[in-house]
Amino acid sequence: MAAVRLCRCRCRALLSRVPGAPRALRGLAAGPEVHFGFQSVTEEDRREKIYQVFESVAKKYDVMNDSMTLGIHRVWKDILVHKMNPSPGTLLLDVAGGTGDIAFRFINYVRAVRERQLQRKLKHHQNLSWQEIFENYQEDKSDSLGDSQVVVCDINREMLKVGKQKAQHLGYSKGLSWVLGNAEELPFDDDMFDVYTIAFGIRNVTRIDLALEEAYRVLKPGGRFLCLEFSHVSNPLLSRLYDLYSFQVIPVLGEVIAGDWKSYQYLVESIRRFPPQEELKAMIEDAGFFKVDYENLNFGIVAIHSGFKL
């Protein structure tokens, strides 16, 4: 808990000195040319363009996710959290998690585990009076997360704003923190978190190698890295159909639903430029992680990569 309080203090300090786009974003060097979708741009330009993309789509982000994936993204995120299998007391860092989808699922999962633990505990106290059972139940249930915490870190203010509004609307507050920060330069101490997740965010990071090094740095020894991301379809026929849907349908949906063709054209292009499963696996291993593997979902449309800091 002290670590979380330290995190919040550091994050408040970070927020107080950021007038617009995050300072960490501006402070990184322009660097060589990189890809923004199918365009070649400098690293600095790419960071600014991606910031603008998510600033533009933030308010319609969840609606567009449902539209683009026909709602299947919800199943993929459920699978990610079940793969994580967090227990009460887990400290999670969810990077690029602005709208809170992973954070809310984490909280729900831990609450369910905690409730099952409580039920098992009560079954072993059959000799207690009704009053004693009631009092024990109320005392334990008041700590429904068992000291678990999730810190949502995102580089984009608008995405965090949407996430906070969702949390308030859905009634999530306890065990949840929101932090403005860059995946390439995280505002957290070393060896701080039990689990690091990044869902549909790492392909938007300009320097994936830096983001992976930062993930390794902030995880405790024994901590787990989990990445859910669009990937590469191996079946040739399905790949052609997927390309047709991606390039001909998704930008149109972006224009109709969000009034933003260009941002969703970029998102499609960014998926095609992203490293395939084996290449990303090698990058995660290069960052220092062990026992790295991945699971393809829906024929490789998305993949979950996992690794451990040992």
Q: Per the annotation, does 183 bind a ligand?
A: yes
Which residue has tokens 């109709």?
A: 256
Q: 134 near 186, Cβ under 8 Å?
A: no
Q: What is the chain's length? A: 310
Give the β-pairing of 219-230 and 302-308.
antiparallel
- Backbone angle region of 188, left / alpha / beta, with phi > 0 → left and psi within -120 to 50 → alpha: beta
Q: Per the annotation, does 191 bind a ligand?
A: no
Give the span between the Cα atoms of 117 and 97, in whole angstroms: 28
Q: Per the annotation, does 42 bind a ligand?
A: no
Q: 155 near 181, Cβ under 8 Å?
A: yes
* Cβ-proximal residues to 250 (8 Å cutoff; 6+ apart), any chain: 68, 264, 267, 268
- Report how far Cα 261 is from the mean position of its chain's Cα atoms: 24
Q: 277 near 232, Cβ under 8 Å?
A: yes
Enter the DSSP assignment of 232.
-
Q: 70 near 58, Cβ under 8 Å?
A: no
Burial of 8 (0-12, 13-18, 19+ CB in 10 A): middle
- In our burial notation (b when 16+ CB lie closer than 10 A, e otherwise), range 244-265 reads eebeeebbeebeebbebeebbb
Q: What tokens were used for 229?
A: 């991301």
- In the annotated binding site for S-adenosyl-L-methionine, the residues are 99, 154, 182-183
- In the annotated binding site, the residues are 99, 154, 182-183
